[in-house]
Amino acid sequence: MTARLLGPVMEYNYTGEPERFARMAAAFGLDTRYMSMWQAAEMAVDYVHQLTVDVGIPALDELGFSESEIPMLADKAFADPQTIGNPRDVDAAAYRQIYQRAFDLGKNGD
């Protein structure tokens, strides 16, 4: 499940430290020479979204999760202290947003 959440998590976080995400785009080998920092950061997020599709990471529903479980998943994630050092503050509502985005992307085949 973690791999499928990487894109939505990056999408949530890149506004907290866009320069870090812009450097990721360059590290991925993407041509960011004529882009703003924000454009390059968004490109890194898009790249990871596409990578999860290209390598066949299953969508959350394919892993047996349903959208009705979003509140439970968000509460469990919020209880985990691993967000220390996250570029943006993460509360239960943010986790619900991240999980919802992951489900939405799965519906679209992204």
Confirm if 25 and 32 have CB atoms less than 8 A apart: yes
- CATH class of residue range 2-107: mainly alpha
Q: How far is Cα 60 from Cα 68, in angstroms, rounded to an integer? A: 12
pTM value is 0.89
pLDDT, tens digit (0-9, with 9 covering 90-100), for 26-78: 999 999 999 999 999 999 999 999 999 999 999 999 999 999 999 999 999 88
Q: How far is Cα 65 from Cα 37, in angstroms, rounded to an integer? A: 35
Confirm if 21 and 40 have CB atoms less than 8 A apart: yes
Structural domain spans, the chain: 2-107
What is the end-to-end Cα distance of the chain in Å, rounded? 15
Alpha helices, DSSP H, located in the chain: 2-13, 18-27, 37-54, 70-79, 92-107
